[in-house]
A and B are shown apart, each in its own frame.
Chain A
Amino acid sequence: MSCLGERLTALVDGELGHEERDRALAHLALCERCRSEADALRSLKGRLRGLGGLPASDGADDLPTPDFMARLRGMGAPGGPAAGPDDPPPPARPARSRVPAGPVPVRPAGAAPRPAASRPRDNRPAGRAARPGGRGAGATAVLYRPSRRYLAVGAATLVLGLGAASYAAGGQREIPTVTPAFDRFAVEHALTSGDVPMTEPVDDRTSVPPAPGP
């Protein structure tokens, strides 16, 4: 966790005042952890920008609907197009239009930091997901991607391991040998199929006179 807290995101977004910005930069020069986190945030911001600038393909069918794209872009900004049910609907954007990256939401300076990996991915609209002063849903979605991979790999390993263990444990142990009760089975078969319930074995084959025809 950064020593600067929410000021780090404000720094990346260019929202700090001149004096506070200088102090933050001076801290970054000394603190490698905050510096790397600032780099990560800048990288994330760049990727969000790139998302808005993706060129449309030749086929219009390859793109999601404009409404979906607008909601996706808005996830990175509080109060975006999908901010809430009471907000006005977002204006339709042309498929090729570039979307300026929205400001990454910031946490209040006094807010307690939250471990990013301890929460599930938040798919709610930004207006619902982002509490006042909370981190934007778009940012969390990207940050949690590695955790989801680990989860999937773990689940697959668990299933495969359990399956292999079950297969190995399911091998036949010493099983008793049985001899079918043929006489009893013959009676059972006759009773349920409507035949004569006799059990005498018949071994020989002989010729018989023809049976009457219709």
Chain B
Amino acid sequence: MLACGLAAALALGLAPAAESPARRRDAGDPEAERLLRASADAARRVRFEGLQSVTAWTGTAATTRRVRVEHAPGDGTYFTPEPAASGGAAVQAGSRSRSGTYEPDTLPVWSGGVGFTAETLRLLVRNYTLVRRPDGAVCGRTARVVEARRADGSAAGRFWLDAETGLMMRRELLDTGGRRVSATGFTEMRVHDAAAPGPAAAPAARVRAAVPWPDRLDGRDLAALRERGWPVPGALPGRLALYDARRPATGEPGEAVHLSYSDGLTGVSVFVQRGGLDESRMSGWRRTGSRGRTVYRRDALEHWAVWSRDGYVFTVLTDAPGGTADAVAAALPGREGALRARLARGFRRLLSWVDPTG
């Protein structure tokens, strides 16, 4: 399992490249980078609506979810799950709930809904070579195509950007064989005048505002967590760099930290909670083993891996193929980190025993 995971991670191009990032960047096309940066601005400026699909391939099987998206500049983006088509259609949708989600434009993290943010763009430029490809078409609209290439020149991802508005319309991830492993983008899209009335959003009672955990951790906070024994690696195998860390607002039950990693194309979230995993609640999950511990796996559109170790519960969530989740599970926490955490924990306990005020 571990070998398969590492092999899959390598197949996605997550292994360190021999060529330096600076050299790869020099070989890239500045216009390609400019187009990607402009898409972040367009996602806030342009009023649009459409049907967006997210598809993940595993071998010949694929899983797809469709969501209706409406964006109003200055307000936010409304996401409504699209029901499955009738008559045995080929698409399985998130039809269990019709409640929508609202993402305000004021969020500190930009999304646009196609798996791309300003932070991941920074990592993309650092880790891949960006080049222009011949223009394509998405939803009947002309699109500029940008390709992210690995150090060996193979394509790792492609982006379709609307020629008229600059919006990112589609994103694909490719393995080393050139096969698509995931795709996110619009299958229908209409662009409106920015001054036109806003989208007819669902009734307020059925729309939940989606906001990330408010307490964003800086370097000092992360150092304090590590000092307390929390496993917070700055990077994970495959050039996955930590670019965001958050925890819930004070007062919320449980103690958890959300660590966001990316190499620019693949996003990996690691949730760390103090405690032991309640395995009785993991029915329906697939049990696997890694480094002598039980890892619960679940693969659908997103890939999950859950395990507990050394007093912490780890939950990995990624849109990359399952091999990435396995590779992360094998790397967390390191043996050295576990020993150091136990020694630090014991030393603190000893101090508390001798400290009369503790």
Q: How far is the CA of A189 from the CA of B315 in the complex (A)?
A: 11
Given contacts A162-B347, A188-B213, contact A211 B55 (CB under 8 A): yes
Bitwise, B136-168 to A at CB < 8 A (1) or not (0) is: 111000000101000000000010100000000
Main secondary structure of the interface of A (DSSP, over half): loop
Interchain CB contact under 8 A, A185 and B94: no
Do residues A165 and B79 form an inter-chain contact, with CB atoms below 8 A?
Answer: no
B127 adjacent to chain A (CB < 8 Å) = no
Query: What's the tally of chain A residues with a CB closer than 8 Å to chain B?
Result: 47
Which A residues lie within 8 Å of B97 (CB)?
199-200
A193 touching B115, Cβ below 8 Å? yes
Mask: chain A, 189-214; 1 = CB below 8 Å from B; 0 = not: 11111111111111111111101111
**Residue B281 is within 8 A (CB to CB) of chain A in the complex:** yes
How far is A211 from B54 in the complex, measured between Cα atoms in Å? 11
**Is B269 positioned at the interface, with any CB of A under 8 Å from its CB?**
yes
Q: Is the CB of A203 within 8 A of B300?
A: yes
Is B246 close to A, CB under 8 A?
yes
List A76-108 residues whose CB lies under 8 Å from chain B.
none
The segment from A17-25, A59-67, A175-183 that touches chain B is: A175-183
Residue of A nearest to B313 (CB): A178
Q: Is A170 an interface residue (CB 8 A)?
A: yes
Query: A169 is contacted by which of B67, B185, B349 (Cβ under 8 Å)?
Result: B349
The answer to whether B346 has its CB under 8 Å from any CB of chain A is: yes
Task: Indicate if the CB atoms of A192 and B258 lie closer than 8 Å.
Answer: yes
Q: Quick check: is B273 within 8 A (CB to CB) of the other chain?
A: yes
Q: In the complex the two chains form, is A208's CB within 8 Å of B55's CB? A: yes
Assess whether A171 is interfacial by the CB under 8 Å rule: yes
Enumerate chain A residues within 8 angstroms of B302, measured Cβ to Cβ: 186, 189
Q: Which residues of A contact B345 (CB under 8 A)?
A: 166, 169-170
Complex Cα gap A213–B96 (Å):
31
Residue B63 is within 8 A (CB to CB) of chain A in the complex? yes
How large, as a class, is the contact surface on chain B?
35 or more
Knowing A166-B346, A208-B64, the reply to whether A180 touches B271 (Cβ < 8 A) is yes
Of B5-13, B101-109, B329-337, which binds chain A?
B101-109
Kindly report which residue of chain B lies nearest to residue A189, judged by CB atoms: B269
Q: Does B225 contact A (CB under 8 A)?
A: no
Q: Is there a chain A Cβ closer than 8 Å to B236's Cβ?
A: no
- Asked if A175 and B136 sit within 8 Å, CB to CB, the answer is no
B137 A176 Cβ-Cβ under 8 A: no
Distance in angstroms between the alpha carbons of A178 and B272 in the assembled complex: 11
Contact B116 A194 (CB under 8 A): yes
B339 → A minimal CB distance (Å) = 8
Q: Which of B24-32, B195-203, B303-311 contacts A (4 or more CB under 8 A)?
A: B303-311
A177 and B260 CA atoms in complex are apart in Å by 24
Which A residues are in CB contact (< 8 Å) with B300?
201-203, 205
Other-chain contact of A171, B110, B273, B342 (Cβ < 8 Å): B342
> 5 tightest CB-CB pairs across the interface, nearest first?
A170-B346, A200-B94, A193-B267, A166-B346, A169-B346
Return 11 A-B CB contacts under 8 Å, by A number: A167-B342, A167-B346, A170-B342, A175-B311, A180-B315, A181-B254, A193-B260, A196-B113, A205-B62, A208-B64, A212-B136
Known pairs A180-B273, A188-B271; list 12 more (Cβ under 8 Å): A166-B349, A170-B341, A171-B342, A180-B313, A191-B111, A192-B117, A192-B260, A196-B67, A205-B62, A207-B60, A211-B180, A213-B136
